Amino acid sequence: MISKTEYAPYFEQYIQLISMEEKSIIDNLESAQVAFNQLLHTVSKDKHSFSYAAGKWTLKEVIQHIIDTERIFCYRALCFARNDKTALPGYDQDLFVENDTANDRDYYELLEEMTILRKSTIQLYRSFSEAALLRAGMASNNAISVRALGYLFSGHQLHHLNIITARYL
């Protein structure tokens, strides 16, 4: 179980979606990816570029956002696990979406990319010692532990799956 002192209050919305008592970081990463694949591989083609309202991201953009966020947070986890004390910047998710090519990409390639990235994240977390998981650093002017980041990946993915189910399908 992680302490609420290991992450910024903003991340509580994601952390509360995962099971820390019954599942390890790895178990959560695997089960969230299974849920992701099960849902998104069944989406009809007419929904791949769908946006539920003007100015909202398309489904492809949401998937790209999940990928981008996981990549950035993996970098943070690696830095902190290796005891790098450099404060890391935040990132502007809207700027990233404005400048990605998600809508020009094949939907199934995006899903495959996420699957490959998640396998890489799992391998990264398998490489961390217990001591490394407890290390923390500063990102976006907030302290966060490597362990909290590990749970955050799954919670963030499940958060977006809930939005996709409610608003895109």
Q: What is the chain's Cα-based Rg?
A: 16
- Domain chopping of the chain, boundaries: 57-169
- Taking the alpha carbons of 142, 82, 97, 41 in that order, is the dihedral positive or negative? negative
Q: Furthest-apart CA pair in the chain: how many Å?
A: 47
- Average pLDDT over every residue of 81-104: 97
The predicted pLDDT at position 21 comes to 79
The predicted pLDDT at position 123 comes to 98
Backbone angles phi, psi at 100, to 5 degrees: -95, 175
- Average pLDDT over every residue of 96-107: 98
The predicted pLDDT at position 119 comes to 98
* Domain 57-169 CATH class label: mainly alpha
Q: Judge whether residue 22 has pLDDT over 90.
A: no
Q: Judge whether residue 25 has pLDDT over 90.
A: yes
